[in-house]
Amino acid sequence: MEHLLAALRAVAEPTRLRLLVLCARGELTVTELTQILGQSQPRVSRHLKLLCEVGLLDRFREGSWVFYRLHDASPLSDLARHLVAACGEDDPTVTLDLQRLAAIKRQRADHASAYFRENAAQWDQIRSLYIDEREVERALADIIAAADPRDLLDIGTGTGRMLEVLAPRVERALGIDQSREMLAAARVNLERAGLENGLVRLGDMYQLALPDQSFDAAVIHQVLHYADRPAAAIAEAARVLRPNGLLVIVDFAPHGLEYLREQHAHRRLGFADAEVAEWCRAAGLDPAQPRRLPGEPLTVVIWSARRPPGRRKAAAPEAMLERELSQ
C-alpha cells in the first residue's frame, strides 16, 4: 500500500502530471520536455527523477541523450494509463502541452524526411557503410524461407531492397513507406528486377491501412532506429500477422556512435535484446533467440517472433493506447 500511496503523492502535482501525460505519447528527452513545459532543465529533471523512483516512468540513456517514457513493466503501469486517460485533452494546459509536443514531432519528422529526400538515390550505399548488407540479406532470406510464407509485408521498405530479396520467395510482397521519394526509387528497382508480385504503397508504420491478420510474415529492416515509438511499430506489425505469422526485425545492437544522430537522423543508437523481446511479448508475440552479425564498427541483430496459433491479447497494447490518447 505504501508504494501505491507514494506514486499517488508523486503524481499529485501539476508539472509531474503533465509529464506523465506527455511521456504516455512516446519517448521524450529532457530537452524536449523542457521546451514543452517552459521550465528549467534542473526543475524538470527533479520531477522526472521522482516519477521514475515510484515506477510511473521509465528512464534509459543512449550516449549523451536520456529518454523517458511511461513504464510498461511496472506494477503501476495500469494506474499511470488510467491517470493519463482521466486527464483528457480539454484542459487548457494539457491542450497547449500537446500542441507543443505535436510541433516537436513535426520537427523530428521534417528532419528525417529531409534526410530521406537528400539521400534516396544512394540509400543503399549509405547503409553499406555500416555492415555488409549481403550477409544480412542471406540470413534474413534463410529465416523467411524456413517460415515459407505466402505473403509478406515490408514495413519501411525504403528503396525496396528487401522486396527485391524476399519477393521471389513469396506469392505476394507489399512494401510500405512514408517517403514518396523512397517509393519512387523502390518502384524503379522492382520494375528493373521484373518482380511483378512486389508492390509498394505510401503508409504509416504506426497506423497501417491493412486488415487484422492479413499477412504471414512482416519485416522491419533498419527502420526502428528512426522511430520515436518503436514498441508501437512492433505492436502494429503484430496486428496484421496471421496466427503462426512471423515478424522479423533487423537493426543495430546498442552502440555509441553519436554522429549517426546528427548526420543520419537516427533516433535510437541500437536496441538491447531484452528490450525488443519485451516489446514483442507485449504485442502478443513469442520471441525467438536473436541472431547477431558482428560488424565494424556496428553489429546487426536479427530478432524474430511468432504470433501463437491461438490469438493472444497483448499485455501492453501501446499502439491502441496511443491512438486513444490522440483522439
Same-domain check for residues 315 and 182: yes
Contact partners, residue 107, CB within 8 Å, separation at least 6: none
Same-domain check for residues 9 and 126: no
Q: What is the domain-level CATH number for residue 13?
A: 1.10.10.10
User: With a threshold of 0.85, does the pTM exceed it?
Assistant: no
Domain end (from 66, 87, 108): 87
Cα 321 from Cα 215, distance rounded (Å): 23
Same-domain check for residues 31 and 147: no
CA distances from residue 275 to 176, 257, 284 in whole angstroms, order as listed: 24, 19, 15
Could you tell me if residue 94 is inside a domain?
no
Could you tell me if residue 287 is inside a domain?
yes
Could you tell me if residue 117 is inside a domain?
no
Same-domain check for residues 321 and 240: yes
Same-domain check for residues 263 and 162: yes
Domain end (from 64, 87, 110): 87
SS3 201: strand
Q: What is the domain-level CATH number for residue 314?
A: 3.40.50.150
Same-domain check for residues 74 and 134: no
Contact partners, residue 241, CB within 8 Å, separation at least 6: 213, 215, 216, 217, 218, 247, 285, 307
Q: What tens-digit pLDDT sequence spans the chain (327 residues)?
A: 788 888 889 889 999 999 999 999 887 889 999 999 999 999 999 999 999 999 999 888 766 778 898 887 778 888 888 899 998 888 899 999 999 999 988 887 777 667 667 776 655 655 655 677 889 999 999 999 999 999 999 999 998 999 999 999 999 999 999 988 888 888 888 988 989 899 999 999 999 999 999 999 999 999 999 998 999 999 999 999 999 999 999 999 999 888 888 888 889 999 999 999 999 999 999 999 999 998 878 899 999 999 999 755 444 444 434 433 343
Cα 99 from Cα 93, distance rounded (Å): 10
Cα 256 from Cα 259, distance rounded (Å): 9
Kind and range of the H or E run holding 16: helix 14-23
Give the model's pLDDT for residue 188. 84
Range of the domain at 58: 2-87
Same-domain check for residues 200 and 263: yes
Same-domain check for residues 302 and 166: yes
Number of domains in the chain: 2
